Structures are given as C-alpha cells and as structure tokens.
Structure 1
Amino acid sequence: MQPPVADALRQGPFPHALRTAIKARKLSLERLHQRLAAAGTPVGMSTLSSWQSGRRRPERPESLEAVTVLEDILGLPARSLSDLLGAPRRRGPRPRMTRPPRPVADLLALASPAVALTRQLDWREDRLRIVSAWDDVEVGRGSCVVGVETRLVLEAVEEVDRYVATFHGAPGTGLSGAVRFAALADCHIGRVRQDPTHPLIAAELLLGRRLPPGETAIIRFGVTDGSGRRETEYGRFLSAAAQHVAVSVHFAPDARPRRCWRFVRDLQGWPDQLHKEVRLGPFGKVHVVRNSVPPGILGIAWQP
C-alpha cells in the first residue's frame, strides 16, 4: 500500500481517504461505477463524486455494502474505509454538530504561522463554531480586493467572550499599515497581531459578554485592504462544518472580470471539487451559497 493511502486511512476523514485511494489506483469514477454494478452493488457516479468530496456520506445499508466492495476494488484492508464512517447519523431533526474542528494545518498553506499568531491572543478555534457565515467582498481596479464585510452567527462550545478573525494576504505582499479591521455590529476590536514574515493579521472581536456553552451571538465586522495586492479569488475557510455559507463578490465597473466561477476545495492549493462557471449579474455581483457545508474552502474565482 502506498504511504499516502496508508496515512489517509489512518488519519481520515472518509472523503479524503476514499479520494486518495482512488487516485492511487488510477481509476476513474466511471470505471468504479461499472465495477460496483458488476459486483451487484450499483452506485451512481454523482453519488461516488459526493462521497469523495464530503458533500454526502454512505449511510443506507446498500451504501455501506458498496463501501465494503470498494475496499476490495481499491485493494484496501477490510473495513479500512468503513471504520472511518463511524456510527450512522440519526434521521429526522439534525443534532447540533459537535465534531471537533479540522486542524488548520489540513486547510491552509500558511497554517503554522496562522496558529502561532492566534496563540499570541490565547485563542483556540474550537472554543466557538461558525453556524453561518456571509462574506461580501469588494474588488476594485486592478483586481484588488479592497474590502470584505463579514457577518457571522457563532455558537459557544465552551464559555467564551470573543472571536479571533484572521486575514490572509497574498504571498509576497506587505500588509503592515494597509489592513484595518472595523467592528460594525455587536462586537468591539480588541488586540491585533501581525506576523512579521508572512502576510497574516489576526484581530480579537470582543463580544461584550461571556457566552455560556450552547449560546449564540451574531457579529458583523469589516476588513479594508489598501495594500494594492492583485487577487483572482476569495474563499471562506471552514475548519468545522457550518449550516450556511454565502460568499458574494462585487466588482467595480473598471474591474469587471472576463469570467467567474464558483469553487469548493478540500485544502488550499488542491484542485476544485466544484468548478462551476457563473455569469456576472446586472449589478456587477456574483455569489455562491451552500447549506450543510463540510470543512474546506468555498468561494469565487475570476479571470481579470
């Protein structure tokens, strides 16, 4: 077994392990679909795609049987994929999502500096979870992201009185003095820290009171960027599942792109799991909206 496959099976999660095993065997989804059908456990290609992207998971008895057959087709040890699924989810009303966040190192290229920066503020991202996120992005002349306004619905996992937001600039750009956080509603700006060697800034957003576990808060804040850095995409990073995420990008009249597309990625720098062209609206806006969003990156990309 190839080391990447062994590591994926050991660490999970299921979508990553399945995707890694499929890639190692150099099998297309169509070929997997054909072999599963020949084994008497048919699975649609769209379902296979959803399994490996994390948008859906095998839960029905016939789906779990197909996972067992997949293990054989992919040359994997018995139950190596099945055990990553854990217990089946309950049907009916959704329980609150209590799984721990995915490590930032699984998502971002600048994970280590980001973690070090937030630790300066004594912050752990598992203290709060994002229930919903709305990002409104302004793109100005030269394809520069000049501002982002964010509204978050947060739920306390443990007693907490703040949230820490991180702004990631483009590699090779300086953000010192160019980036400003502003509290717009139901929060206040606390301490702000910047990494001296990477384009990263973290800011405390103080909630004004301590939230007990299970209580929610809604905050709104903005980030302005005067660094003049050229961008071709904006993504919302999620370390834990969220109920609702929306990203809207507004292009100034002199910044209209030639084309735009929505994307979903498991990790920063990885290929798009979703890549869907979208037309610019009459007001110069495009957006992506998703419900029941798994950990990963969701956003809008464009060609200037």
Structure 2
Amino acid sequence: MSIAALSYWQSGKRQPERTDSLTALGELETILKLPAGSLLALLPPPRPRGKQAAAVQPVTETVRFERDTLLSLLAALGAPEALDQEQQLTLVGLHDRCQLGADGGQRSITTRAVFEARTDGQDRWLLIYNSDDPSAGPPELTTVRNCHLGRHQVDTANGLMVAELMFDQPIRRGETYLIEYELENAGPPYPTCNRTHWREFRRPIREYLLEIHFNSATVPGRCQQFARPAGQKHPRMRNLTLDACRSVHAVAIDFGPGLFGIEWE
C-alpha cells in the first residue's frame, strides 16, 4: 500500500472502496491491534462511480414519520444524504417476526434480510426504526448473523433510531448477502404498538414476509393485512386466520413503494 494512498485516506480526498483496499484496511486493523471491523465502521458508504454516479436521482416519496426529524438524526450519524441518494443495495427479501407480550405490547422483532449488491464494495445497511411508544425508550439492537453494529443514533423524544449494520465482509456486484438482527424491548410492560405492525418501503421489494405471534392472553378477535401503495389514500385490506400457534402472517410480492402491515382487534 503506497504512502500516497494512506495520505489520501487520512485527508479525506479518497476513501478505501475497492476489494484490495478494503482487504488492506483489515490488515491495518491487525497491525494496529484494533478490533476487527473498527476501521471499516468509520467509512461512509461507497460512492457511486461512472454512469451510476450520474444516474443518482433523489427519492421524493415521503416517509410515515417527520422527514426533518429523520434528516437531523441522519446528519448526526454522519450520513445526511442517506435518505435521498440512490441505494447500491437491492433488498431482495425481508422477513419480520414480531412477538407480543402478555400485555399486548411489542416484546421483540427478529428480522432476516437478503440483499443483492449493485456495485462492488457494499458493506452496510442503514436501519431506520420508528416506535409507536417513544416513552418506553429505544429497544436493544442485537446483531445475530453476518453483521455487527456500526454508527448509530437515537432520538428518544420521537422514538426514532438509525443504525448502520456492518456486513462481516464487503460484497461484490451481483452477490447476495443475508443478515439477521433483533430488536428487543424492555418489559413488562412492553411498548404499546397500537395493535399494528407495518413497514414502509420507499423502493420496491421482491418479497416481504411478516409474522405476528400473539401471547395466549392477547389472542385477537380479528386480524387483517393492509397494503397501501404510494399515492393511494385507502389501503387494500384482507382478513387473516389465526393458526394453531396463535400466529398470523402476510406476504407481499413485488411490492412498493408504500406501506404494508398487519392490524388486529
């Protein structure tokens, strides 16, 4: 690795992005006796190059929560453009498993996500979590498989959390990568979730699977899935049947942008 390359990295004029540079960064961590991934976690996402850099278009679709509040949080994280820049990871599939407590509150959410890289060197995913009950405090974020926690910020007043989930290794264009993480709330009592769980997709997703697992004390009388594509005022509703494990699930195929979730009475 050249002295010039190190100088560019230190000054911020350039950043390690190519596979050999990221490998060198890992060797530096070993030489400097730093925890694995500690230098990698300091890097911003890889910058688009060539035609892809010219093709970046802002995403104008609004979010469910206050956009300005989220932008302030992203700025504090060090990623002020994350909301509107073109994503270099395609979210291929997502699986949420929501566990409710005996008081009907949200006990935990376990998520598996599969991505496909559109450019080389992709190494993180930005998680944005919005709580329906800010007074309960933020959940504990635990990485389960193939990732670790990078930079993160919490807005307790508005119940917002943003966090970088760092991949254990960068992936190349066309490669897929699977991660798993869990959000666990303190309780009981567990945070109220307004008898609903939903995801907002600002870009299309090929498949989204949502499971809701009820406690025996909180079995609902009625469950419905709802899908509200962007630009539509009223959601499409569909009744769901509780299974033998006191659970319901809903699947969205080639959905987005828009809101998709399950509500119950």
Provide the TM-score with structure 1 as the length reference.
Answer: 0.60
* Contact 2:227 2:259 (8 Å CA) reproduced: yes
Q: What's the CA shift for 1:277?
A: 1.4
Gaps of 5+ in 1: 1-97
Q: Please say which of residues 238-247 and 263-272 is displaced more in the overlay.
A: 263-272
**1:101, 1:288 → 2: CA distance?**
30
Structure 1 residue 230, shift from structure 2 partner? 1.5
CA distance in 2, matches of 1:285, 1:196: 30
Question: Structure 1 residue 294: deviation in Å?
Answer: 2.1
Change (3 A) 1:160 1:109: same
Other-structure match for 1:136: 97
> What RMSD, in angstroms, separates the aligned Cα atoms of the two structures?
2.5
Given candidates 136, 139, 145, the residue that maps to 2:106 is 145
Q: What does the per-residue CA deviation read over 1:88-110, in whole Å, with 9 as the maximum and x for residues that have no partner? A: xxxxxxxxxx996844x523133
- The structure 1 residue matched to 2:229, chosen from 239, 249, 266, is 266
Of 154, 157, 176 in structure 2, the residue corresponding to residue 197 of structure 1 is: 157
Q: Could you tell me how far 1:287 is from its partner in structure 2? A: 0.6
Q: Secondary structure at the match of 1:297?
A: strand
- Give the aligned partner of residue 12 of structure 2: none
Question: What code does the residue aligned with 1:120 have?
Answer: A
Task: Give the aligned partner of residue 18 of structure 1.
Answer: none
Q: Deviations over 1:55-91 (max 9, x none)?
A: xxxxxxxxxxxxxxxxxxxxxxxxxxxxxxxxxxxxx
Q: Is residue 210 of structure 1 aligned with residue 166 of structure 2?
A: no
Question: Percent of aligned positions with the same letter in both sequences?
Answer: 22
Give how far 1:214 is off. 3.2
Q: Measure, in 2, the Cα distance between the counterparts of 1:298 and 1:243.
A: 13
Q: Deviations over 1:171-225 (max 9, x none)?
A: 5x2253x510111111112222101431101122110222233332110101012
List aligned pairs for 1:226-265, cutoff 5 A. 226=186, 228-231=190-193, 232-265=195-228
CA shift at 1:166, angstroms? Answer: 1.6
Matches within 5 A, 1:53-132: 102-103=59-60, 106-123=62-79, 124=82, 126-132=87-93
Greater Rg by CA: 1
Which residue of the partner structure matches residue 291 of structure 1? Answer: 253
Per the TM alignment, residue 250 of structure 1 is displaced from its structure 2 partner at its CA by: 0.4
By percentage of residues, which structure has more strand? 2
> Residues 106-138 of structure 1, C-alpha deviation per residue, up to 9 Å, x if partnerless?
231333322332343344252322111010111
For 1:206, the aligned partner's letter is: M
Contact 1:184 1:220 in 2 (8 A): yes
Cα distance, 1:301 vs structure 2:
0.5
2 CA distance for matches of 1:209 and 1:184?
A: 15
Distance 1:195 1:248, change over 3 A: same
Task: Count how many residue pairs are aligned between Structure 1 and Structure 2.
Answer: 202
Distance in 2 of aligned mates of 1:264 and 1:220? 25
